[in-house]
Structure formats: structure tokens, C-alpha cells
Amino acid sequence: MGELWHGLSAQQCLARLGSDADCGLEAGEAQARLARDGANRISGRPPESGFSRFLRQLREPLIYILIGSGALALFLREWVDAAVIFGVVLVNALVGAIQEARASSAIAALARRVPRNCRVLRDRELRICDAAELVVGDVLALEAGDQVPADLRLLAVRELLIDEAMLTGESLPAEKAVESLDEGCALADRRNLAFAGTLVLRGTAKALVVATANSTELGHIAALMDATASLETPLTRRLARFSKQMLVLILALAALTLIVGLARGLPLAQMLMATVALAVGAIPEGLPAALTITLAIGVGRMARRSAVIRRLPAVEALGSVTVICTDKTGTLTENRMAVTHLVAGGREYRPGDAASEGSALRELLLAGVLCNDATPRCEDGVWSFEGDPTEVALLPAALASGLDVAALRAAHPRFDALPFDASRQWMATLNRDAAGATLWIKGAPERVLAHCAARLAADGQSAPLDMAAELGRATVLAAQGFRVLAFAYRAGEALPDGEAGPWTLLGFQALEDPPRAQVPAALARCREAGVRVVMITGDHAATACGIAERIALSRHAPLRALTGAELAVLDGKALGEAVRSVDVFARVLPEQKLRLVEALQAQGEVVAMTGDGVNDAPALKQADIGIAMGRGGTDVAKQASAMVLADDNFATIVAAIEEGRAVYDNLQKFMVWTLPTNFAEGLIIFIAVLVGVSLPITPLQILWINMSTVLLLGLALAFEPGAGALMQRPPRAPREALLPPVLMARICLAGALLVAAAFSLFHYELATGSSLAVARTAAANLFVFGEMSFLLNCRSLTGSWWRAGWWSNRWLWPGMFAMTALQIAFTYLPAMQAAFGTQALTPSSWLSVAVGALAISLVVGAEKAIRRFAALRADSGRVMDRW
């Protein structure tokens, strides 16, 4: 909002907007303002059309080469070749477009946060009005259950409690008042405002509309999201670089092939088809489909671990994460208030400690049961509670210590009550039992203590009150991040009237949103995996730091924390230093969360961001991987995220990172397996032109090899189980090459072996009198069975393939069997022979194919063994040096 309405009095706000608290706006004036300012709807950029998404899939470097090759085949009247090439292009584009279409608009989800109807004061009458027709200056009535339709300045309130967690990140509802506040107070502390999209839990209010549509805090977040571009994942960035490099290499090789062929006097049409064959052979056509399917398999595995992936590239991005920016409430904590500390009679207790009859502990718990508006229910021995989260938390604490809540309320019926008031900061109830009437009080420690003259000792007897000591106990608990409530009582037949007291202090109950039990172990695994964890929350700094210390969040001592107010004054350099060393960022605004994520990314970090509220959405969208809460998260947060935690548990993020690393390993295995074939197919065409012989394989045979082997052989690698010690190695460097030099060397070795074996077999067949069709059929089969033998070596990029387990991949052997059956049909079936220009092979030819394929596997296996041996010697040498 442009104006600092919280700093003005209610009357100043009404005067500035030309409104009246008792009459509201006139209908004509409201219509004029609606025409001027527009409807109360949050809007954003129009979504991209499906056709635009489809066309964008074609703007890839390698796709350009395929389209050009298909056009050239059409020009040369090679209809079948052209149809197959364009078919591959179409399938890849459709897969990509469908994948992107799954992401829904977060702006639309924001718009759904605004309710449809509300109660508006117009022409002195309270009317039901469509929320879209609200204008600045309207006066509204709110009550429990309402969703706030616009940003409001409160004019009058009665026990108003609003859940603002989705906007501010506060774990507790906000208690509202009407008094003006300091202009510099944080968004979460603006008690005299109500914000669009938040929910009224209790009480009633009269309020003035001060901002609508995109001018609200909700609209401000929508604008941040609109301006935030969706980032590419580390994998997509690596693939983009790899595609550009391949584009240059393929074009250079194709041009060189054409020039060499023409220089040798070969016909132009023949050389153009050779160029098409080279381009088609060198391009890994099956890579996009294999990538999508491998990621989809990862999605299924993660879903079984309660991590729901909304965007496929997020699967791999998880494996690259270097920093997790996590919210506190609901992610690191259980998202429920619970009593964890009890102080009675000068002693400290825990819920579950025995409360003997007449003891101070029992009287303290009894006060929490009676001075309480929460409703308990017990069905089949299972308790459930409804009401204010703070009051709800008091009842399980009493039950844990052996008190019968229902029986105590029946034995001490309530006859009167003084509800909580923000200015008074305490509530009271008048209950009677056989001994007479008792006034039970609950409220802020400093306000309750101010009216106390004595306290109960541990044995239940009255004792002198040491005001400073008792206030010190409450202060220590509050400094640790607990919400502290003081309880007192006095005998009497009436509620306090005027000056309250004197009361007898019963003690304190300290509440918190407790950390999840699995979180400390999950944080330890993150440290082991080299992943840093930073807490970013809208909650109070003391609360955030208390939780952070209990779960051992920090990598060092003491814990370093920074508030949103301190963050606001940092320049770019200071912010960069802060994000490297600060563990907890508390009381932060939505734009500050976004700024923190951007600062981390500027330092080369791959950032995962968790959140559940509307205020988290811009940062969730900006992060390399946005993670929303499935149970407690808003629709807006889910729509802006790439992943949703079905169980809202931080430990699930760690499991998903492990799965993401396994997916990346399998993608690398697939690329190491498939690229030698593309390298060999392109090179064998170039060599054939260079030495002036017939092409050993045709473009159509190349497409057959590439697509059939990818589907039946290569995709089996997507089902490889994760290798051991995935979480004992550091994250991949964000700028690390997609394929490191060791793997590139292996790709070149395997490709060279394929070229040598296929070229040798092709010329051997011709030399023994076989036809050109038979020689090409033998070469094509050698490519396929050579890939099959190499596939086994790719199951592990470092060790022997059988160590991965003979039967650990249930798709491997069926895929190899199916590929063998297809190659038999490719070689002998008349329809396949007519389509692909193949002929039947003799047993001796098949023996040559088998020997060549086996040789490829043995040589690559020997190369891995040599590297392992060299690594072991290097490791032992380093150990000896240290010794």
C-alpha cells in the first residue's frame, strides 16, 4: 500500500478517503470510484497459449538441424526419410509442450484468495455486495469466518483475531486493535490493519477499505511474482550449453563432408543425402524423450517418499541443490501450539509430570482448563479440540498430567466471563464449585503480575510474591522464543470491576510450535551432503532462534540472526556477506525473501526455497526449486512451486535431494551410453565420404537404430537404483560440465570402437561377395548389439556392471530381449526389409556381429578397471604421504 494507514488515526483515514463510519459511501460515489479504479480483482500477465508453447519447443539448436535435414530430404524426394525425421521433431515438441502446460498460473490462485461476497455499509444501510465491487472508502463489517476482501483500516473491533500466517508467516493469529501505530513498524505488527485474503477467526469489526485489487499487499505479491522470471534448472542450463556445442560441431562436420565429397567429384544429390545422414546420425534424437521419461520415473519415486513434483526438471534440480532456504512454521516445526514448560511454585515442570491434589502444578493446569474457551471432544478415546490455537494447547497439557478436562469443567461450571481484550491483555472466568466461587485469570505475564499480591508455593500454600524473580522467569522463557501465559486466581462472587486484584499467582505456561522429531537428523544429513540450511521466516527473531538452536541448525556457534529491519539497510555487498554467514533471517517481508534468494543465486548457489504462505510465493518462483507445503500450504504457494511436500516435513526434502542425485546419475549414464552411437554414426558417414566409398548405413537405418535402442535399451538405465553414498558426496558445482572429461573420453573411446567395428564388418562383407544391402544390414546390427553390450558397462560409471546386481533393474533384461527380437524382424521380415533396405544375414555374419559387440564391452570394461586401479594407487600414495 502506498499510504502508511497504520500511522494515522481512524478519523484521519476516514477524512482522507472522504468516507463516514456511520453512513459509508453513497451508492453513486461508489460507482464513480469503481469506474475510476477498476474492479477489486488481482490481475497479471495473460498466460501463454498452448500453440506458443509448442512453437517454443522448436527453437532448439539441434531441432533446427533436424528440420533442415527433413527439408533437404523433401527437396531430394526422399519421402520416407523426410516423414520419419519430421515425425521425430513433432513428437519431441509435443512432449515438451505438454510438460510445460502442467504448470498452472499462480496469479489466478492469488485471485481466488479474494472472497466473492462481503457486507458493506452504503447509504447508511448494510448490504451484501460482490467483493469485486468494493472501492477505496467503503466501510465493511467483519465477523468470525469471513475472509478479508481488501486491505482495511480497522475502525472498531471486539475481540478480533485474524489468521495472517499466509501473508506474514506468523505462527500465531494476530490480535487486532484500532489505535494508531508507529509508521516504521513491520507488516506483521500492524495490528490496526486487516489484509486481503486473511481469515477472521474470532470477534467482529467495522473497517475502512484503504486498498483494493493490485494495490493490496496481496496484489503487491502478485506483482512481484509477475516480474519474477521462472529460472532454468542446472540441467536445462547444461543441456543448452551442450546443444550449442553439438550444433557447432555437427554443422562443421556436415559442411566439411559436403566440401570433401564435391571436391572428389561426387554428385551433389548424393552428397546432400550423405549430409542428411550425417546430421541425423550425429543428433541424439531420443535424448528429449529419454530425458522426460527418466525425470518422470524420478517423479514416481519421489511421490512414494511424499514429495509431489509439479514440474519435471525439478527432479534433477534437487540433486544440484547447495542451499535450502526453509520456512520455520510447519516445515521445521509441527505447525501446532503446544505447552512445553510449566512453572509453578517456583519449580519447572513438563506436561506429563504428575499433578498431585492441591499442588501448585495442579492448580495451574486447572486454571488452563477453566479459563479457556476451547472445546474438547473425545470420540473412541481420541481427543480433539476446537478454538484458538493457544487455548487449544492448554488442554492436552492438563490431560497429559492426569487431569480429566470434561469432569473438571462439569465440577466447576462457568457462570460469567470477561473476554480477552487487547488493551487489558488478560481474560477471566467466574466458576463455582462446592467450595464457592473462584475467579480464574489468564494473560500476559507483566499485566497479570501487576495485580498479584501473593503466589502459591509448590505444596499449594500461599507464599510471598517476589515480583522481580517471577517476572525474570517469564522473561527468560520469552527470550527463548516461547509464548508465555501467566495464570492467577482469587475467591469472589463477581468479575473485576474497575481496579482488578489482589490476585494470587499460580504460575506460567510456556507454549511453542515444537520442532519435528525428524528434523535434527535430516539437518545432519544435509551437512554430510554439503548442503547448507538457512531459516527465513516472518516470525519473531527470538522464536526463530529458539527453534534453530534446538534443532542445531547452525554450522557454527553462536547462532547468527538478522531481522527484516536490519536487512532493509544492507547494500548489495553487505547482503552478499550476510547470506554467506547468517543462519536465521526473521521478520522478513515477501520482497526481502525474494532478495535473499537472488543474493544467494548471484553467488552461484543452487537454491531450494520452502514456504506455505502467499508471502512466500515470489521467492518460491524465483528459487531454482520452490517447495510448498501440501497440508498447510496455500494454493498460491503450491502454484508457484516446483514441488509440494505431501507431509509438510523437512526430512522429506532431504529424501528428495537423495532421489534427485540418483536421477542425475541415471541421466549421465544414459548420455554416456547414447552419445557414442551418435558420434560413431556421424563419423562413419564422414569417413565413407572421405575415402570415397558407399555409405555403410542409410539415414533411415540410422533413425531406426537411434529411436528403437533409446526406447528398449537406453530407458532401462532410468530404472537403475541409486548408487551407495549418494548423500556422502558434495553437491555438483553449478558450473560443472554436463559430462566431465573422464566420461567424454569414454564416449570417444566407445564411439571409435563402434566406428572401427562397423566399418571393418561392412567392408569385410563386401570383400566376401555380399551385396551392399547385406553389408549395411550387418553394420546396422553391429551398431545395435554393440550398444547392447556397452549398455551393461554403463550401469556403473566407475565399477563393474555386475556389482549393481544382476536383477536389481527389472527392465534391463526384458528390454535387451525385445531389442534382439526387433533386430531379427529388422533383418528377416519382408516388410522391414522393404522399408529399411535390409537383407538376411548368414550365421557367419552374426558371429562377426557378436565378436565385434563383445570386443567393445571388454575394451571399455578394461578402461574402467585401469582408472580404478590408478585411483587406488593415488589414494594409497596420499595415505603414505600423510603417514
End residue of a domain, out of 512, 529, 549: 512
Residues 532 and 669 occupy one common structural domain: no
Residues 190 and 252 occupy one common structural domain: no
Point out the least confidently predicted range of 73-82, 420-429, 445-454, 856-865: 73-82
3-state secondary structure 719-784: HCCCCCCHHHCCCCCCCCCCCCHHHHHHHHHHHHHHHHHHHHHHHHHHHCCCCHHHHHHHHHHHHH
pLDDT bracket for residue 46 (50, 70, 90)? low
Q: What is the pLDDT of residue 106?
A: 40
Beta-sheet pairing, 414-418 with 382-386: unpaired
Q: What is the pLDDT of residue 579?
A: 94
The pairs formed by 390-393 with CB atoms below 8 angstroms and a separation of 24 or more are 390/172, 390/337, 390/483, 390/485, 390/511, 392/337, 393/336, 393/337, 393/338, 393/339, 393/511
Phi, psi (5° rounding) for residue 135? Answer: -130, 160
Task: Classify residue 502: in a domain, yes or no.
Answer: yes
Q: What is the pLDDT of residue 879?
A: 37
pLDDT tens across 326-380, in order? 988 778 888 889 999 999 999 999 999 999 988 999 999 999 999 999 999 888 8
Phi, psi (5° rounding) for residue 800? Answer: -70, 140
Q: Provide the residue range defining the domain that includes 752.
A: 234-289+659-721+732-882
C-alpha cell at 489: 486466581
- Centre a 10 Å sphere on the Cβ of residue 5 and count the other Cβ atoms it contains: 25
Phi, psi (5° rounding) for residue 170? Answer: -65, 135
Q: 0.75 cut: is pTM over it?
A: no
Q: What is the pLDDT of residue 710?
A: 82
Given a contact cutoff of 8 angstroms between Cβ atoms, the answer to whether 283 and 250 are in contact is yes
Residues 623 and 710 occupy one common structural domain: no
Provide mean pLDDT across the span 540-563: 85
Cβ neighbourhood burial of 430 (10 Å; 0-12, 13-18, 19+): buried
Task: Classify residue 654: in a domain, yes or no.
Answer: no
pLDDT tens across 409-468, in order? 999 999 999 988 767 889 999 999 988 999 999 999 999 999 999 999 999 999 999 999
Residue scoring higher pLDDT (107 or 308): 308
Task: Classify residue 99: in a domain, yes or no.
Answer: no
3-state secondary structure of 221: helix
Q: What is the pLDDT of residue 681?
A: 85
Task: Classify residue 181: in a domain, yes or no.
Answer: yes
pLDDT tens across 358-372, in order? 899 999 999 999 999
Q: What is the pLDDT of residue 48?
A: 58
Residues 805 and 692 occupy one common structural domain: yes
Q: How far is the C-alpha of 879 from the C-alpha of 25, rounded, in Å?
A: 83
Residues 486 and 556 occupy one common structural domain: no
Q: How far is the C-alpha of 659 from the C-alpha of 319, rounded, in Å?
A: 7
Cβ neighbourhood burial of 804 (10 Å; 0-12, 13-18, 19+): middle
- For residue 547, the domain's CATH number is 3.40.50.1000
Which amino acid is located at 801 in the chain?
W
Given a contact cutoff of 8 angstroms between Cβ atoms, the answer to whether 102 and 118 are in contact is no
Point out the least confidently predicted range of 69-73, 306-310, 314-318, 499-503: 69-73
pLDDT bracket for residue 105 (50, 70, 90)? very low
- For residue 766, the domain's CATH number is 1.20.1110.10
Q: What is the pLDDT of residue 92?
A: 65
Residues 395 and 526 occupy one common structural domain: no
- Centre a 10 Å sphere on the Cβ of residue 807 and count the other Cβ atoms it contains: 7
Phi, psi (5° rounding) for residue 131? Answer: -60, -25
Which one of the listed residues 81, 138, 327, 583 is annotated catalytic? 327
Provide mean pLDDT across the span 135-153: 92
Task: Classify residue 861: in a domain, yes or no.
Answer: yes
Given a contact cutoff of 8 angstroms between Cβ atoms, the answer to whether 516 and 649 are in contact is yes
CA R_g for the chain:
35
Residues 272 and 374 occupy one common structural domain: no
Task: Classify residue 579: in a domain, yes or no.
Answer: yes
Residues 273 and 251 occupy one common structural domain: yes
Q: How far is the C-alpha of 179 from the C-alpha of 9, rounded, in Å?
A: 7
Q: What is the pLDDT of residue 49?
A: 64
Residue 311 has pLDDT above 70, yes or no: no
Residues 395 and 426 occupy one common structural domain: yes
The question of whether 327 is a catalytic residue gets the answer yes
Task: Classify residue 677: in a domain, yes or no.
Answer: yes
Closest CA to 562 of 543, 542, 592, 584: 584
Q: What is the pLDDT of residue 147?
A: 86
How many independent structural domains does the chain possess? Answer: 4
pLDDT tens across 173-202, in order? 888 999 999 888 888 889 999 998 888 888
- For residue 370, the domain's CATH number is 3.40.1110.10
Q: Is the peptide bond before 558 cis (omega within 30 degrees of 0)?
A: yes
- For residue 211, the domain's CATH number is 2.70.150.10
Residues 495 and 587 occupy one common structural domain: no
End residue of a domain, out of 227, 247, 274: 227
Q: Which residues of 75-104 are buried (b: 16+ CB within 10 A; e: fewer)?
A: ebebeebbebbbebbeebbeebbebbeeee
Task: Classify residue 83: in a domain, yes or no.
Answer: no
Q: What is the pLDDT of residue 140?
A: 94
Residues 143 and 178 occupy one common structural domain: yes
Q: How far is the C-alpha of 823 from the C-alpha of 795, rounded, in Å?
A: 22
End residue of a domain, out of 227, 249, 267: 227
pLDDT tens across 646-689, in order? 888 888 888 888 888 888 888 889 889 988 988 888 888 888 88
Residues 562 and 671 occupy one common structural domain: no
C-alpha cell at 501: 486484584
Q: What is the pLDDT of residue 456?
A: 96
